[in-house]
Structure 1
């Protein structure tokens, strides 16, 4: 009798958990959707790519949380053809002390291509290091 009761309880538990609905989003959340990544050391990270003729104007900002001691970053400008991304310019060895990192530079590119500006940064705070990255895309007509 005890074995039958345990089998019945187990079957009921399985039946109840199988019928729990699952929720998912059909597409990734956009920047203005109200859904944001939660970082440990970082308040925000952003990249901006704009074109003036064939000049790519590139900028990026990383804001660390209070107590951030250092932010290091590398910024990549990439040409995008289909699914292939080719780095055309990389700004390396960029670093700053404190809670904020700002980058602003320009580079001349070939027209008729899509480009991506990506920043990869490391944010140092309280003995931990957090890696963050973000990208922006644009077309140089």
Structure 2
């Protein structure tokens, strides 16, 4: 299992080093800070689902074992609690590939573009770890 703080640190580093900037819209270029964007109750569950689906498209039905639960106080209505079955390196690579597919040439990602891509990519429910 990947510790959530370790996951957030690694993804924040990816966003900063790759110069990705997630903004609200084309007319409102207010950017989210990487740490806020990657909070378990912000876009982290969405990004993990998108990364998981990116991996599944290439590797078949192998899942990350995401522990995502509904949270009506969360930005997207979901909160990520854990990633059980994937190494951090794979999660980072799949997240980067996902972000590359929605970023423009300057690394700008519009929130509505991200949402449209997420809706297309993630039609099925999130994987959940099997009870032990």
Structure in which a larger fraction of residues adopt strand: 1
TM-score (norm 1): 0.20
TM-score (norm 2): 0.21
**Which has the higher relative contact order, 1 or 2, with Cα contacts under 8 A spaced 6 or more apart?**
2
